[in-house]
Amino acid sequence: MQRPILAFAQDSVGDWFATLSCGHTQHTRHQPPFQSRPWVATEEGRQSKLGELLECPYCERWELPEHFVAFHQTPEFTEATIPAALLKDHTTKPGIWAKILVTEGTLRYHLDGSGQTFELCVGTLGIVVPEAPHHVEPLGPVRFSVEFYQAPKVVR
């Protein structure tokens, strides 16, 4: 899954990494002949890459960034109270992840961009990747809520 580059920083050994819109980071080393990224060596080069897309393997595996924190949880929904918007294709905003938490019954989770579906029940989380089209479908009586995650706010 490709994600825009938002910023660059250096790790503890001085290697550059990109921060992606999903919240994940990825090293952007210049190590010829394996990786040719001479642009990473200059501020101008790095600035020229802001907004460009970079493949994010963590999003492909639905891995919520470890440092993200919960900031909102919906009320509990049932098969009768699911908002219509959740039953049709929708996405979260850039950088916003979610967990679908089923407390009773079974909910089918459709990842529309990939054509995959999962049956979620008690103890099985549905991970929502930012900006990935998805919707849910109750399979009989069900109770669930959605918990939203984002990068921690920086206090200055």
Cβ neighbourhood burial of 18 (10 Å; 0-12, 13-18, 19+): buried
Domains in the chain (CATH in brackets) are 2-60 (no CATH), 69-150 (2.60.120.10)
pTM: 0.85
Report d(CA 128, CA 132) in Å as an integer: 7
Question: How do the pLDDT tens digits run along the chain, 156 residues long?
Answer: 899 999 999 999 998 999 999 999 999 987 777 788 889 989 999 999 999 999 999 998 889 999 999 999 999 999 999 999 999 999 999 999 999 999 999 999 999 877 889 999 999 999 999 999 999 999 999 999 999 999 988 666
